[in-house]
Amino acid sequence: MRQLARAGPGHAIAATLILSACGVAQHISPATRTTPTAPTPTTMPRTLSVVEAAALIGRTVTGSRPVLLPQAIPVGYTAHLILSADDFQVTYASVDGSRRIFVELGVAQPAPAQPDGTQSYPRFRGVMALYQVDSQSPPTSRRFIDWGEPGTASPNLQIKPEYGVPYFLSTEGFADSEFWQIANSLGPVAGPRS
């Protein structure tokens, strides 16, 4: 009788890649949260003030343009940051952590909406975007917008040039009108000085 070898982590990764190529991997384990891409960090994850995070992102992210951040961050929030020269992830959080704003320059992999959630494709910042509300109850459930900003993405992100710069913005604990106030406040961050 033949003995079967126990599959190691390399086998699990290979199986996932094969199943992904066949379009089957999505059925392995349903995700309940956004699983953003992990940028190659040049610094360890850091917690900074909103102003300090914007300055560090502007100095560090040089491979993609434009670099955008929301300006309508509530007072008293802190920024948890991971970044590289190509991309970044920043989570702005309230003091008690109940309200969060997440911004990513990179390719996000959000989970599908709940049965009572919605998806639409509005024009946002001059391009077609994906807008999702995870659930209608509570009215402050997670919602996001995912779009390709006109500009130049770092070649390291392996994005087709016609897509632009991949951006993802989500909130938790904010009503729809608050989400759009934050989304509509996106603006460019000053880059390094020459």
Q: Read off φ and ψ for residue 178, nearest 5 degrees.
A: -70, -40
Residue 130 phi, psi (nearest 5): -105, 125
What was the pLDDT predicted at 42?
Answer: 54
Summarize pLDDT for 14-59 with one digit per residue, the tens.
333 333 333 433 332 333 233 444 444 555 678 999 999 999 999 9
Nearest to 70 by CA among 102, 110, 99, 33: 102
Task: Judge whether residue 194 has pLDDT over 80.
Answer: no
Neighbours of 43 (CB within 10 A): 11
Provide the pLDDT for residue 120: 96
Stretch 169-179: mean pLDDT, rounded?
97
Indicate the pTM of the whole model. Answer: 0.77
**Confidence at 191, pLDDT banded by 50, 70, 90:** confident
Residue 3 has pLDDT above 60, yes or no: no
pLDDT for 24 equals: 35
What burial letters (b/e) apply to 2-20, b meaning 16+ CB within 10 Å?
A: eeeeeeeeeeeeeeeeeee
| Contact predicate 169/186, CB 8 Å | yes
pLDDT score at 46: 83
